[in-house]
Amino acid sequence: MKKNYRLTISYDGTRYQGWQKQKKTSDTIQGKLEDILKKMMPLYGSRSDSEIQVIGAGRTDAGVHARAMTANVFLDITIDEEGLKDYLNRYLPDDISVDAVKIASDRFHSRFQALAKTYCYTCYCGNAKPVFDRKYVTILDHRPNVEWMRKAAEDLLGNHDFKAFCGNPKMKKSTWRRIDSVEIIEESDYIRIYFRGNAFLQNMVRIMTGTLLEIGFGRMPADAISGILASLDRTQAGPTAPAKGLCMMEVHYD
């Protein structure tokens, strides 16, 4: 009998083409997980269980990292949760880890039942090279004015049409999203921007980050956000910040 397994996954997204499985490449997080589960089934499950789909709470872009992606998958297997976790971690590459496995209700859906997600974008503006963090931060030429950025971020809060902050020009679904909080924290040479919202469009966090940095550098006015939102025009927002500085931190449920 199939059970619904809830997974908590962390990964270094540097060498992957994002979360979502793709036809042209197997180098995605979902693809790696599903490949290993399919090989596991003849050993610990039903050979007929060929249709395995690992459902992620979000679709992180190529090069984006995660500390706690939530996913779920239906499996008919003879090993327990700890056995499933051990098997996956034994055969997954070193830059992907299944940190927790537990049986969820059949109605649990990692994406549809998520209430909010928290992402963190990390910038570095020190004088020395961040040798050990270089794959996880965006290096800035100089320090932006964080107070300008904090002030501008206030206009992102609430429900808005974020079409101007969407990297997909062919997006046909609703581009309305809700941002609950934007917190910008300075820690010595690091600037971390935490975004919490109900959902995010393609590249949305990276475009919001790029826009806030432009404001912090004085290249855009501090009150630019409202006009950008109203324009519904991607060209009015700032650049898309590099993927490597972005990390999914948490998926929030009841």
DSSP state of 36: H
Is there a catalytic annotation at residue 189? no
Calculate the alpha carbon distances from 111 to 44, 114, 219, 224 in Å.
27, 5, 37, 32
Q: At what angle do helices 81-91 and 29-44 cross, to 10 degrees?
A: 120
DSSP string across 82-115: HHHHHHHHHHS-TTEEEEEEEEE-TT--TTTT--
User: Contact 136/247 with Cβ under 8 angstroms?
Assistant: yes
Which two three-digit tokens encode residue 93? Answer: 């590459």
Which two three-digit tokens encode residue 78? Answer: 């003879």
Question: What distance lies between CA 13 and its chain's CA centroid?
Answer: 10
What letter represents residue 67's amino acid?
A: R
Identify the active-site residue in 61, 76, 180, 223.
61
Residue 90 to residue 30: CA distance in whole angstroms: 16
Calculate the alpha carbon distances from 147 to 67, 69, 151, 226 in Å.
28, 31, 6, 17
Which two three-digit tokens encode residue 51? Answer: 């249709």
Q: Which residues are catalytic?
A: 61
